[in-house]
Amino acid sequence: MKELSLNILDVAENSVKAGASLIGIELDETEELLTLRITDNGCGMTPEILASVTDPFYTTRTTRKVGLGLPLLKLAAEQTGGSMTVASRHESTNPEDHGTEVTATFYKNHIDCTPMGDVISSIVTLIQGNPTRDFVFTHKRSEGNVVLDTRQLRDVLGEDVPLNSFEVLQWITEFLREQYAGDENR
């Protein structure tokens, strides 16, 4: 992957496939560290599958949860000296509170840290392809936080206008761009 934002798009798609209705994408930046956390309320994974998710050569091809997505994210994190962890509660054992949490930490100043790239495009792509799911995107930065919660947008738009209408996607792009540029406008 050429951009971390592509890893984000890819791993968040796993949450979609796991049937999640709410997906959280959180970026937390300090001077030295970047922490990416993707959480969902999808079906979760059994301990057996969880144990093999980071093995690129293990594939069941029936769960669609195993493949190169997580190994590539793990590689991207580890090549900076960071790490990736996955925690999951499967719906069979946790019927009330199931889902998955992927956390990856990156040392930002490491020469092998993949650039973030166009994270706005990844968020908009996720919403375009999955207009019935909700996404909560948070980017905590020293310059000011960036936040998007599609549940708020859905409240305003009602049932008449899908979240992936072109005008809405454009609004989301601008909304995020303005937040990222906010510190320059102040």
Q: What is the rounded CA–CA span in Å between residue 148 and residue 175?
A: 8
**How many other CB atoms are found less than 10 A from the CB of residue 185?**
6
> What tokens were used for 120?
């706005």
Chain residues that interact with another protein, rule: CB under 8 A: 1-2, 6, 9-10, 13, 17, 64, 67-69, 72, 118, 121-122, 124-125, 128-129, 152-153, 156-158, 160-161, 165-169, 171, 174-175, 178
Longest alpha-carbon distance in the chain? 52
> What tokens were used for 136?
């909560």
Residue 31 vs 155, nearer CB to another protein = 155
Pairing of the two strands 22-29 and 33-40: antiparallel
Residue 28 vs 175, nearer CB to another protein = 175
Q: What is the rounded CA–CA span in Å between residue 168 and residue 153?
A: 9
List, in sequence order, the alpha helices (H) in the chain: 4-17, 47-52, 69-78, 119-129, 150-157, 166-185
Residue 69 vs 89, nearer CB to another protein = 69
Q: How far is the CB of 31 from another protein (least distance, A)?
A: 28
Q: How far is the CB of 103 from another protein (least distance, A)?
A: 19
Residue 1 vs 50, nearer CB to another protein = 1
Residue 27 vs 148, nearer CB to another protein = 148
Residue 25's closest CA among 79, 73, 78, 89? 73
Q: How far is the CB of 133 from another protein (least distance, A)?
A: 12
Q: What is the rounded CA–CA span in Å between residue 101 and residue 82?
A: 17
Q: How far is the CB of 183 from another protein (least distance, A)?
A: 13
Residue 28 vs 121, nearer CB to another protein = 121
Q: How far is the CB of 85 from another protein (least distance, A)?
A: 19
Q: How far is the CB of 30 from another protein (least distance, A)?
A: 27
